Amino acid sequence: MNVAASNIANISTTGPLPASGGSGLGGIAPTYPAAYVPLQVNQVSQSSGSMLGGTAATVSAVSPSFTAEFDPSAPFANQDGLVAAPNVDLASEFAQLTIAKYSFIASAKVIQAYTETMDSLLEIKR
């Protein structure tokens, strides 16, 4: 959820296109921060051979990390008025948040069922 929230919060954090150098003022090119680099979560299987092990989540940068966007009013826009905008798909980010929400709910239900089963087993033994 943190990755999706960060991507959504920084969707408008643009920067100069790499190697564009910005427009510069009076022959002195000021430096501007780079565009936000969006992240993605990858699920990796932990199962190998006869061992069943679930999944692990790894976080990596989205590739390509930016798209060229027209914004001639930005001080770091190149001569064509283009800036680097994060390569974030808002619909995909909201889908990831929904998946994370329901995955959490499902996991909580499994723990609740386990606890209820253990409680009933302990009552039988008494």
pTM of the model: 0.71
Maximum CA extent, the chain: 86
Where are the chain's structural domains? Answer: 2-125
Can you give the pLDDT at residue 47?
A: 77
pLDDT tens for residues 79-119? 999 999 999 999 999 999 999 899 899 999 999 999 999 98
* Residue 54 backbone zone (phi > 0: left; psi -120 to 50: alpha; other: beta): left
pLDDT tens for residues 13-47? 999 998 754 444 444 446 888 899 999 998 888 87
Q: How far apart, in whole angstroms, are the C-alpha atoms of residue 123 and residue 121?
A: 5
